[in-house]
């Protein structure tokens, strides 16, 4: 299997998707922000000075998904039909679990939009909480599933 973003001479290129059929495409992704119990308790109590961490992270993730084509050099700008971002408290981490879902009708998939939404939502949590806990970690940013397109559906096992 060859990498589609490289031409015959090995140079980076944007893939020509002009001949691909327009289909409904979806992708879901996730990410986690692990933090101290003290920071988690402040987020849960909505006591972070910058505001409502979960809501701001959800809005940031939504905005990021819509701008993925501007952020990732070889991504096609896509007219997304739906972006859902959920940032939820995860006491078992302790921290925040982010899940995203993106849908569009297009010629290329929306995995990058879902991943970008998850990553930026996690980064937003970090930004808002860093005054309390600079040791937070972001992990587990990954695609969970995708539908549509010529390669068909895929689900993480």
140 membership: H or E segment, kind and range: strand 137-147
Question: Angle at CA 89, nearest 5°, toward 111 and 84?
Answer: 30
Instruction: Give the SS3 label for residue 58.
Output: helix
Q: Enumerate the active-site residues.
A: 127
- Please, which residues bridge with residue 87 across strands? 98
Residues 107, 103: Cα–Cα separation, whole Å: 12
């Amino acid at each position: 299997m060859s990498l589609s973003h490289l031409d015959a001479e090995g140079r980076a290129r944007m893939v020509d998707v002009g001949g691909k059929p327009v289909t409904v495409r979806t992708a879901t992704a996730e990410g986690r922000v692990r933090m101290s119990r003290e920071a988690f308790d402040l987020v849960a109590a909505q006591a972070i000075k910058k505001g409502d961490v979960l809501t701001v992270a959800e809005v940031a993730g939504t905005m990021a998904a819509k701008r993925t084509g501007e952020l990732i050099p070889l991504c096609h700008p896509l007219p997304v039909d739906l972006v859902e971002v959920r940032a939820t408290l995860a006491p078992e981490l302790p921290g925040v679990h982010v899940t995203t879902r993106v849908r569009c009708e297009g010629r290329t998939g929306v995995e990058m939009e879902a991943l970008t939404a998850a990553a930026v939502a996690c980064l937003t949590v970090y930004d808002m909480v860093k005054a309390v806990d600079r040791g937070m970690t972001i992990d587990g940013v990954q695609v969970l599933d995708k539908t549509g397109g010529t390669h068909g559906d895929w689900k993480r096992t």
